[in-house]
Amino acid sequence: MMKLGKISPLAFSRMKQRGISIDALNDLLARGQVEQHLDGAQVVYLDSPVPGPSWAGRPQPRLYAVVDAAGDVLTVERRVRLRG
């Protein structure tokens, strides 16, 4: 479980552009999966839950954040993964 550190101006701007709330970012950091990188940075991501029948044929959203070694949020993104 990570705690929310500083949010870079870029990350804050991206959050506003993409409609990602502070609560969503806190939830991501608390429940997300973490990929460690050699430079100490981390990518924290949260895949959406398994979609129900109403999601048939639609893309799934995926939320992730890049956090530096000090715990500061560098950027936040909402990606869409298309099913193949």
**pLDDT tens digits, one per residue of 23-55:** 888 888 888 888 888 888 898 887 655 555 554
What confidence score (pLDDT) does residue 73 get?
A: 92
- The mean predicted confidence, pLDDT, of the chain is 79
20 and 76 Cβ atoms separated by less than 8 Å: yes
Q: What is the pTM of this model?
A: 0.72
Instruction: Give, in order, the Cα–Cα distances in Å from 56 to each of 33, 48, 83.
Output: 25, 14, 10
Q: Which of 56, 48, 34 is closest to 80 using CA atoms?
A: 48
